[in-house]
Chains A and B, each alone.
Chain A
């Protein structure tokens, strides 16, 4: 029963872009105008393939993306850190390449990439050693708003380039 609801939910999520419930900017340096309600979704149209192809992909493989809040690393480096992972619901593949990127909001309200992007091929489920990590040495910046985005590409499956965003959090680095 639970498995059925999980699959249904995940397919519904992945299908949302095709139902027109998307409005995110494609560039990380454009202002975010999304409401909180759909902040988790960012759909960039695929560079190849038709809508039919994309619908077939969405029906074929469902998964969730997950990103933790930008936080100070516990290794005393003073760096900000964020992690990304995924949860498989019905994909035949067992691995996915997870990308995570930290961003800060500048004085114009634009989200700007900062630090080192994390990219790692990991199994589903998260947990220590199973996450991609982004880092940013934010010493000198005081009280900025930060967030991270996470993109998951399931290995061997032409999935969708949609991202989720972490919560926006204020971090005083200086």
Chain B
């Protein structure tokens, strides 16, 4: 039975965005034990008036984890409700592709954030460092 071995979020620069300011998209995927990847979320990203000169890789990775993660509680929801709803949402996306797992299991899977070459290049050229 195919299973998820890693969650991967890929951060890339938004095409056409202001080249001086941080503006990125994030694609969130599940890496399977057969080597394939399944798309989980492709509607995430953020825009900021923070210049690349004032950012670093660690900060971008941290923000990426937040924007692909659970939404804030809304209405009568508690934080626990929102977190549970998020993992169930991810579980159901996987289930539609035939990957059976539990929310509890998904929460334990390693999650890596990968910065694209263009993001790394922007950080390098702007900062001379990778943070």
Q: How far is the CA of A128 from the CA of B43 in the complex (A)?
A: 18
Contact B47 A67 (CB under 8 A): yes
Q: How far is the CA of A38 from the CA of B19 in the complex (A)?
A: 11
Q: From A36, A135, A167, A171, give the contact of B45 (CB < 8 A).
A: A167
Chain A residues contacting B121 (CB-CB under 8 Å) are none
Q: From B18, B43, B50, B81, give the contact of A71 (CB < 8 A).
A: B43
Which of B2-10, B29-37, B66-74, B94-102 lies at the interface with chain A?
A: B66-74
Contact A127 B66 (CB under 8 A): yes
Contact A74 B47 (CB under 8 A): no
Identify whether the interface residues of B are mostly helix, strand, loop, or mixed: mixed
Closest to A3 in B: B54
Query: In the assembled complex, how far is the CB of residue A6 from the closest CB belonging to chain B, in whole angstroms?
Result: 4
Contact A40 B47 (CB under 8 A): yes
Interface residue range, chain B: 35 or more
Q: Is A73 an interface residue (CB 8 A)?
A: yes
Contact A68 B46 (CB under 8 A): yes
Q: How far is the CA of A67 from the CA of B63 in the complex (A)?
A: 11
Q: How far is the CA of A130 from the CA of B50 in the complex (A)?
A: 18
Closest to A132 in B: B72
Contacts A75-B74, A75-B77, A167-B14 given: A66-B44 contact, CB under 8 Å?
no
Tell me which residues from 24 to 63 in chain B have a Cβ below 8 Å from any Cβ of chain A: 25, 41, 43-51, 53-54, 56, 62-63
Interface residue range, chain A: 35 or more
Contact A67 B46 (CB under 8 A): yes
Q: Is A89 an interface residue (CB 8 A)?
A: yes
Contacts A73-B74, A75-B71 given: A37-B85 contact, CB under 8 Å?
no
Chain A residues contacting B18 (CB-CB under 8 Å) are 36-40
Chain A residues contacting B54 (CB-CB under 8 Å) are 5-6, 9-10, 64, 89
Residues of B within 8 A of A (CB): 14, 16-18, 21, 23, 25, 41, 43-51, 53-54, 56, 62-63, 66-67, 69-72, 74, 77, 79, 81-82, 85-86, 88-90, 92
Q: Pull 12 A–B residue pairs with CB atoms less than 8 Å apart, ordered by A.
A: A9-B53, A36-B17, A37-B18, A66-B49, A69-B25, A72-B43, A76-B89, A79-B74, A128-B66, A128-B70, A128-B72, A167-B45
